[in-house]
Amino acid sequence: MRRQTALSLVVASAAMCVAATVCSGTPVAPMAGMHMSASAEPDAGPTRQAYTLNHAFLIELRAVPRPIPFEKYFTLEFVVYDGRHPTKALTDTHLKVTAGMRHGLKHGFAHGMQSTPRIRAKRGLFTVAGMYFHMAGPWTLRVDVERNGRKGTAYFTLPCCGQ
């Protein structure tokens, strides 16, 4: 019985290893160089700001740990601007954040996070706690903004994870 348990553990860890390899070894486009390590490409960090696809809002990733920790909780901070006047932070927007990995998908996520992030808003500064990346590779953050019925969606790429 004991030997059988040990064997199933080996199988389980082998399966996890395969999953992690698929994760980090599946770049969206070979030219993007997402599979390069952080040390080989010092510029390949997280997206720091992104317009919503309709250009209604500009979203700034004000704070992100560098590097993002692997299998540890971390926190992000966002500020939202009017897309036409990206100097004054908006304080009356609603924000929704979802994160996942695409694994080659053009739309949506192949899988999400194993945690549920919590957002707190304070005078235009959005703090997203409870972020948790359990796989190595490029993660995609989808940010949905709503203000007085106007909506917008922006995407950030967060590489996981540095040494």
Q: Which residues bind Cu ion (CB under 5 A)?
A: 23, 101, 135
Classified as helix, coil or strand, 123 is coil
Closest approach, Cβ 145 to Cu ion, in A, equals 26
CB closer to Cu ion out of 23 and 141: 23
**Which helix (H) or strand (E) covers residue 97, if one does?**
strand 94-101
**C-alpha distance from residue 50 to each of 38, 127, 151, 152, 156 (Å):** 21, 17, 15, 11, 7
Decide whether 138 or 152 has the Cβ nearer to Cu ion.
138
Query: What is the closest distance, in whole angstroms, from the C-beta atom of residue 19 to Cu ion in the complex?
Result: 7
Which residue number, 23 or 145, has a Cβ lying nearer to Cu ion?
23
Query: Could you tell me the smallest distance in angstroms from the CB atom of residue 108 to Cu ion?
Result: 13
Asked if 83 contacts 56 with a C-beta cutoff of 8 angstroms, the reply is: yes
Q: Looking at beta carbons only, is 101 or 154 nearer to Cu ion? A: 101
Phi, psi of 11 (to 5 degrees): -60, -45
In the complex, the smallest distance separating the C-beta of residue 34 from Cu ion, rounded to whole angstroms, is 13
The whole-angstrom separation of Cα 67 and Cα 45 is: 8
Shortest distance in whole angstroms from residue 74 CB to Cu ion: 17
Question: In the complex with Cu ion, which residue's Cβ is closer, 50 or 101?
Answer: 101
CB 73 within 8 A of CB 115: yes
Nearby residues of 93 by Cβ (< 8 Å), 6 or more positions away: 57, 80, 124, 145, 146, 147
